[in-house]
Structure 1
């Protein structure tokens, strides 16, 4: 990662610091409110805002008629108060005049229905017409503000693909064909990859191919997988088009867009995006549940590893409740600080929120903000001010790198997509839930684990867990096998190693290219019904899945099934292979069931916790260079000995 990515927005104003701010939407308020906003921002210690994200209709109220006067005023006001601006290109949502004049830019869903204006992101990623108008706006913005002293970064669109990633229009169909022609070159190669001998789907011409629209039965599984890949590539190509103009006109200003590495968002594989942005930025919102905090840590951890260990930017999270969940739960005392600092612990050099001032109207008026409806005389604003003060005291953290953990969890979007497609042994399988379960088990054991993309180097990790690594191309299978042969300790789970990159089954028995390393063979899956479970002889209980496993003579059975159809058969195994070992877990154990199993694998690999025994499970440890973060996972105070006392839901930062 270049120096531009890691320092431009961090050190623009002098000494390194942790940036603090929010999305700012002054266009929602009268001019006299702006001065109040800036006074309150200074009181809170705000250093940066993202500006103009949904302002296209104000910037260009009619075709070709630009109005930048109000934005000039806001930028000047922010600069006069030493507040940096991450300026959005405002292309996230087209204005009404554009969709009225060009309804052909509106997406079409898989049922053939038009996605109408009235919300946001109502545009086709493949639309040439939309791109013409959007890039005209980008050029106008970049030309006007290239030299503005407040400008520290460009914010392309917003949460690309959040609502419009899949478009099934004729325009998308043509772009999909072009993408497929580039990928496969020949019709024979496509027909082989898609397995079109099944159900008389053989194609004779590219023009016959369509997106996976609603069909009489399940669409071709490889067609579905390729359409997901295509849709991500189209969005990335659109990002590149905006970036090219910004780079041309403002070569010294870094360009980014906000990722959505979070539990509810599965449609964008970000492994190929990190080289496109000048610094990684992410949005994250917690979902209620027993693993809510662990999922937050998991997502921050993965974002930090997508960034290659370099500092990144938390572009959005919430001060309290959101507005779009079935029940929107307010955060409890301490959670604002804890959530923010958990992101910092995993590499973020910025803490930013949606949004600065809570909206009075619109769909997000009940979404929390730094400045709530109650105003500055409120517990929320006082908490925001206190967080800003604490972040100023943590300036020494800025610029430090995440310290590599002794273990890793592989995260693979391709396996997430493929494992959860239709026509599988069960539709109850949830890829990300299994990955987070293993992460929780590491936290329970007090062992740091990096969440890494499947492309990451595994060489320096003594232990690697690959939950539901369903898609294993030949080269990945060889890489994992070599990792074990060279002394690594791999653990994988049910429904791993089943298909190649074309979603074709590896023949000869499951789990395909990992059979030799794992020292086992599976002929048939045995998924469980909702009311079924399988007890293991180590005291744990499995749900969702079991396997009919045959083990090699030198494979060690760590746990067997005690009840059900698989009674007496292996459930958890470990196989010495080369200088390392490969373990297999054939059922969903959940975090509590994984914890003792993981302890066994860690012990065999010689990996121990860096925390004292009394803190393991209760405290999460994260490390950036020589700075340790101790995060209280409980609602009780914890005695840290000479390092003091950790408040309920508190975070200690120790140099």
Structure 2
């Protein structure tokens, strides 16, 4: 069982609900809407996150009458309310009077009012108005019995995740002064002596701006991402501290998971738990659809695993319920019958203890008139409503048993924000991580081996690692001496750690080390990188040849090649390069270290390489001893008080057969299942109660 101490939802009841926008519908419809929500079995509604103009129709004039009536009526119908602070959409009266709150493009062109997220986080004027609206709402609603919690803002960094207003340049400069203390230290950290970029006055320092060739200083761009994250957290802190002070009985969360934000630190410092917006059908739009045998909607399990690294039990503030799309982009097809239910239980399987569907009814106007909710425009019965009713009945039956249970895994993929942000700009390592995460995700999922993500940070301790048998740290280009020492302790104590190409050659500033690769983990891995090359021509990618032979012959060594040389007699070469000028050189090695071991692979991990390592590591499926599953089915195990609950999720549009090796209990149908074939319907879900953990 994985031990995680991050902030998490606390409760004894599973809450299912929906997002609702009373300001968008005639008031005479509210009572019928709430009544039908209760008939479905919903307990919770979210509202208010885009309604600033209703709370403050003109500067300094607060009006709560519309939402008072909406919240009171929801409470009378037995619904609890999550109230959003409306700071994701500043009103027109504000942007007109104070245009400095608007964001600007990389070229410095100011954005206009419209859409959403058109503000910047740095403007003192905007921060002041956000504090005022939060304070007014908190004072008014702190003791309302129908409000259980607050959502701060909405989807930080969605649509826009870089900021170049005048206020941002000023704030960045202040942030740098606090971080470095002097221009000499800044110049050294940024390597500003290169190309004569050194600064002699703080007023000369800015966020990245257009340059010849489009190539700003790489160390400046890394600090830019760090600044954006810290700036958002300081922006959210203003609201969090007001809510803590004025509404201490109501919990605080926020939703999203977008770029350039350290969600782990934000949650630890400001929130009670983290929330996520799950739209599995985005896989139809993005790069997964272009891959061979793509995971498609199953890739959302990877995203949910990252969410679980922030809050082991979390909220899905927006669960996809219908086809999605704005008027001009993001067109997604309708979920097929059963997929809405499948995606809901996908979220539950990975740790969600509260889920709200987006949205109650599809909007009849605005940008999202094709971002469909449970109900269509006409309010007539449809299959999405029917699926929601089915899910509600099922969660009503099993919710008390599974709420508070924790996802169980023996493998963790390590990640950190510095490498993520540095890799956005540095094409010599960023693409490797994207490829390797996909390869490991696919291999582990299809092998029925659950895994966690573990965020490495300065506060990470050995106790956070030793619960896992295997740690995969694909391409940690930036690695501190402290992290290297931590991983050595883990391996010395019996753990197995796996690295990929480009490990350890940069320090925390993003400077390349003047030591042999892989830098501070060279002795842990027992190798040095004697040569390396970027693979520019995909068709010329060399293969690897496994020393022990086997079915993995001919596996490509993708994207980048580190040519390895063992530096001690204990290092075992598992695979050799089988092409180019370094044919016959080591590509994959294993080094015993203490009672554990370290693996180094000189390329990006494909599914095939990850599969081969899984076999050599002796990792077993979570189904060992009780079931055999086809690859179309994902398995997740949640554990509570020594009881194991197995979620079986069929992502196929065809029925599949699993084999039960012993008797168990079908929780959704409330019956015992004998050993033998278990039929799982297309997009079907089975939840089994197993024996003690």
**TM-score band (shorter)?**
over 0.9
1:71 and 2:67 aligned = yes
Question: In the alignment, which residue of structure 2 is the partner of 1:84?
Answer: 80
Contact 1:371–1:381, Cα closer than 8 Å, also in 2: yes
Match of 2:363 among 359, 363, 370: 359
5+ unaligned residues in a row in structure 1: which ranges? 11-15
Q: Distance in 2 between matches of 1:438 and 1:229?
A: 27
Question: In the alignment, which residue of structure 1 is the partner of 2:333?
Answer: 329
Question: In the alignment, which residue of structure 1 is the partner of 2:322?
Answer: 320
Question: In the alignment, which residue of structure 2 is the partner of 1:506?
Answer: 513
Q: Distance in 2 between matches of 1:501 and 1:4?
A: 27
Aligned 1:383-402 pairs, distance under 5 A: 383-402=387-406
Q: Between 323-332 and 208-217, report the one with greater CA deviation.
A: 323-332
Question: In the alignment, which residue of structure 2 is the partner of 1:526?
Answer: 533
Change (3 A) 1:411 1:168: same
**What is the alpha-carbon root mean square deviation over aligned residues?**
2.2
Q: Distance in 2 between matches of 1:448 and 1:183?
A: 39
Residue 343 (structure 1) shift: 1.3
Q: Distance in 2 between matches of 1:39 and 1:3?
A: 37
Q: Secondary structure at the match of 2:276?
A: strand
Residue 244 (structure 1) shift: 1.3
Q: Secondary structure at the match of 2:149?
A: strand
Q: Distance in 1 between matches of 2:348 and 2:484?
A: 34
Q: Distance in 1 between matches of 2:48 and 2:5?
A: 27
Question: In the alignment, which residue of structure 2 is the partner of 1:13?
Answer: none
1:199 and 2:195 aligned = yes
Contact 1:17–1:392, Cα closer than 8 Å, also in 2: no
Q: Distance in 2 between matches of 1:646 and 1:73?
A: 45
Change (3 A) 1:336 1:487: same
Q: Between 81-90 and 204-213, report the one with greater CA deviation.
A: 204-213
Question: In the alignment, which residue of structure 2 is the partner of 1:267?
Answer: 260
Q: Distance in 1 between matches of 2:529 and 2:423?
A: 17
Question: In the alignment, which residue of structure 1 is the partner of 2:375?
Answer: 371
Q: Secondary structure at the match of 2:409?
A: coil
Residue 348 (structure 1) shift: 0.9
Match of 2:47 among 47, 51, 76: 51
Q: Secondary structure at the match of 1:497?
A: coil
Aligned 1:125-140 pairs, distance under 5 A: 125-140=121-136
Contact 1:107–1:164, Cα closer than 8 Å, also in 2: no
5+ unaligned residues in a row in structure 2: which ranges? 546-551, 664-672
Deviations 1:332-354 (A, max 9, x none): 22221221111111211012122
Contact 1:640–1:646, Cα closer than 8 Å, also in 2: no
Question: In the alignment, which residue of structure 2 is the partner of 1:617?
Answer: 631
Contact 1:165–1:235, Cα closer than 8 Å, also in 2: no
Deviations 1:518-546 (A, max 9, x none): 11111443121233322222322233222
Residue 367 (structure 1) shift: 0.9
Q: Between 345-354 and 230-239, report the one with greater CA deviation.
A: 345-354
Q: Distance in 1 between matches of 2:145 and 2:8?
A: 18
Change (3 A) 1:369 1:86: same
Q: Distance in 1 between matches of 2:222 and 2:6?
A: 36
Q: Distance in 2 between matches of 1:364 and 1:79?
A: 28
Question: In the alignment, which residue of structure 1 is the partner of 2:167?
Answer: 171
Aligned 1:333-348 pairs, distance under 5 A: 333-348=337-352
Match of 2:110 among 106, 111, 114: 114
Q: Secondary structure at the match of 1:432?
A: helix
Q: Between 521-530 and 435-444, report the one with greater CA deviation.
A: 521-530
Match of 1:630 among 643, 648, 652: 648
Q: Distance in 2 between matches of 1:326 and 1:313?
A: 24
Residue 453 (structure 1) shift: 1.0
Contact 2:657–2:680, Cα closer than 8 Å, also in 1: yes
Residue 412 (structure 1) shift: 1.9
Q: Secondary structure at the match of 1:420?
A: helix
TM-score, normalised to structure 1's length? 0.93
Match of 1:543 among 546, 558, 580: 558
Residue 633 (structure 1) shift: 4.2
TM-score, normalised to structure 2's length? 0.88
Contact 1:638–1:648, Cα closer than 8 Å, also in 2: no
Change (3 A) 1:513 1:159: same
Contact 1:446–1:611, Cα closer than 8 Å, also in 2: no
Q: Distance in 1 between matches of 2:271 and 2:246?
A: 17
